[in-house]
Amino acid sequence: MDNIELVTFAPAEDIRPALGDSAKLVTSNSFDVMDVVRGKSRLDSKQGRYFVSRLLKECWTRWIGASALGIYTLSNGPNCHFFKKTDQSNVDVRFTTLQGKQTYRRVVGYTTEPDGNRRYWHFGIQARPVFAPSLAYLISSHVVFTSDGVTPWTSHRKMHSARRRQCKSWFNPEWRDRLLATLHWLSQGNTSLRIPAGKEIFIEVAVTPEQFESQVSYADPPTRKERLLIVQPEQPQDVVEEEEGQIESDDEEEFDTDDEEDEL
């Protein structure tokens, strides 16, 4: 076969031994990755980005597939990788927070169903390459459910329903810290992930996000309990002429109102 184009992050020296005797590497050209991404190389801009994206996906898939994480195919097609149950029903991962504090987050847990069976939940992640605002992996969080701690349910609808029940009390800090704990585990305690792209070539991914101070803040909406504590403005009362002996004191009205609020 002639005129086959191979695109890799690795140099030609890494590729030749893998070709064997059935193919021969005739010529080799190298391009700076960022030039390809920015459309400044001899490659077509769209084609160049396709090559970079595909290589990043393949390198990530091979690397994380060699770990002890399980694999689950999402309803929209891509795979996510999740922690599996070990000898313990609950699995905790220790990590260092962005403030430098040593702590842990649970990545595998379970709920006992009414019939006595256990429903295990497993934290997982998915990565896909992005080019904006910079070349990076966009890592998203997922939750997978099993009945045995290992084998994911086959029903996406059942999985979605269980996820809504299990994760309804998870807020941003829980999702953030579980993601940070997972990246810490994958890095084996190092400051970055080193994803092989050749014999001596690695894709390095920071395990902590970039931090910045925003000039715009977001106010969380009040919880149900907070809404109940909000003092409602007093409604104007119609003046009614009471018959003698029927007049109630203001103190009694305030006391009755307070009782109703306590019951709520």
Report the C-alpha gap between 40 and 89 in whole angstroms: 52
Distances (CA, A) of 260 to 177, 236, 242: 41, 19, 24
Each residue of 37-90: pLDDT tens digit? 999 998 899 999 999 999 999 999 999 999 999 999 998 889 999 999 999 889
205-219 mean pLDDT: 86
Let me know if residue 226 belongs to a domain: no
Let me know: does 147 contact 117? Beta carbons within 8 Å. yes
pLDDT over 70 percentage in the chain: 84
Let me know if residue 76 belongs to a domain: yes
104-123 mean pLDDT: 95
What per-residue confidence (pLDDT) applies to 159? 95
pLDDT at 227 over 50: yes
Phi, psi torsion values for 158, nearest 5 degrees? -65, -40
Q: How many helices (H) and strands (E) does the chain have?
A: 7, 8
pLDDT at 246 over 50: no
What per-residue confidence (pLDDT) applies to 219? 79
Q: How many domains does the chain have?
A: 1
Of residues 24 and 259, more confidently modeled: 24
Phi, psi torsion values for 29, nearest 5 degrees? -125, 140
Let me know if residue 254 belongs to a domain: no
Task: Name the residue range of residue 104's domain.
Answer: 12-206
Let me know if residue 82 belongs to a domain: yes
Let me know: does 129 contact 136? Beta carbons within 8 Å. yes
What per-residue confidence (pLDDT) applies to 233? 54
Each residue of 159-209: pLDDT tens digit? 999 999 999 999 999 999 999 999 999 999 999 999 999 999 999 999 988
What per-residue confidence (pLDDT) applies to 27? 84
pLDDT bin (cut points 50, 70, 90) of residue 232 is low
Let me know if residue 182 belongs to a domain: yes
Using the 8-state DSSP alphabet, how is residue 234 labeled?
Answer: P
Let me know if residue 7 belongs to a domain: no
Distances (CA, A) of 143 to 91, 150, 158, 242: 14, 13, 12, 64
Let me know if residue 242 belongs to a domain: no
Let me know if residue 185 belongs to a domain: yes
